[in-house]
Amino acid sequence: MFTKRIKKTAYRAWHRALFRLQGAEKSTRLPVQTIFVHVPKTAGSSINEYFSSFVGSRHAERYVPIDGFKGDAYDAGVSAEGVEAARKGLFVTGHIDWQTVETIRQPHAFVFTVLRDPAERLLSFYHYMHHIDENRQPTPGEKERLKKLKLLTFGEFCTSEDPALLYMTNNFMTRQLAGRLDGTAGTSAPFPDLLGRALQNLKTLDYAGFQQTLDADFQALVKKAGFPPLPLPLENITKKLAAHAGPSYNPNASKQDILTLAAPRLKWDMAFYQQALELAPEINKRPFRRGYLS
């Protein structure tokens, strides 16, 4: 543990020194804004670690983890304070929806996301849920909510109509990129319309990467954004956590199980993901017009 801490400290110091050097070479002009539209369970911890190693801790004014400005974990709304902080941030990250992106996005901002095979993402979320200690949740409501979810069997997890679970599992990527997340989690959501909007919004991104090709995609996106193409730190949060599994936890649940049992929760995300794979090469090769802080 001590050795890992030393390596992380050295990694951050190395990045910050290079970032200062890069800024000096550009007369201290830094990229105006970089926004990471973080889809849950898509290597977000590793990506955030890379950028925070340049711009400072989460308490620094230029590093804004905007999730911290939400009033409710199952509401995509961001407070006025959060919007103001994000507009000034050098690097903004969070499980934000497209409406929030449009609210905080500055001219010439670099906006990117990383997508993941929907079944693999949902399976990863299932395992992650059973590695979180519900007793350490910030509010009694969240503690009880997580405790209740852990009592579900794997089959119930895939089919439950629980609002909190639907919010995180029901075609999340399509809803996130389409507009607003809150109010659209139900199974009766207008998904054909949401899919069309999600794909149109995806086309306006400056880079779309994928978990399955993460190393190569990350090198390409940071280079395009104007940051040094240094190795991505590998942060696997689930593996770092001791299991706090509920009595019905199935550690052997597989991707095929998810595909079989949770098909309706994956249908529109699968369509979105397949079309995103086709659209990404054109999106990623499009020139990016950089803007800089004065």
Q: What is the CATH number of the domain that holds 75?
A: 3.40.50
Ramachandran category for residue 205: left, alpha or beta (phi over 0 → left; psi -120 to 50 → alpha) = beta
Give the mean model confidence (pLDDT) for residues 66-81.
Answer: 68
Q: Which two tokens stand for residue 145?
A: 């909510």
Residue type for 31, please? P
pLDDT band at 27 (very low <50, low <70, confident <90, very high): very low
Neighbours of 248 (CB within 10 A): 14
Inter-axis angle of helices 263-285 and 118-129, to 10 degrees? 120
- pLDDT higher than 70, residue 148: yes
pLDDT band at 266 (very low <50, low <70, confident <90, very high): very high
For 222-239, how does the pLDDT look when each residue is reduced to its tens digit (9 = 90+)?
989 888 777 787 766 666
Cα dihedral sign, 260-261-262-264: positive
Decide the pairing of beta strands 292-293 and 30-31: antiparallel
- pLDDT higher than 80, residue 123: yes
Q: State how many domains the chain has.
A: 1
Least confident window among 75-84, 105-114, 199-208, 254-263: 75-84
pLDDT band at 140 (very low <50, low <70, confident <90, very high): confident
- pLDDT higher than 60, residue 72: no
How far apart CA 109 and CA 90 sit, in angstroms, is: 9
Residue 39 CA: distances (Å) to CA of 117, 228, 290: 11, 23, 24
Least confident window among 7-16, 43-52, 160-169: 7-16
What is the model's pLDDT at position 53? 77
User: Contact at 8 Å (CB) between 65 and 48?
Assistant: yes
Nearest residue to 63 via CA among 41, 93, 31: 93
More confident residue, 92 or 23: 92
E strand or H helix at 221, and its extent? helix 214-225
Residue type for 166, please? L
User: Contact at 8 Å (CB) between 78 and 61?
Assistant: no
- pLDDT higher than 80, residue 61: no
Which range marks the domain in which residue 57 is found? 2-293
Average pLDDT taken over every residue of the chain: 84
Listed in sequence order, the residues at least 6 apart from 128 whose beta carbon sits closer than 8 Å to its beta carbon are: 41, 237, 238
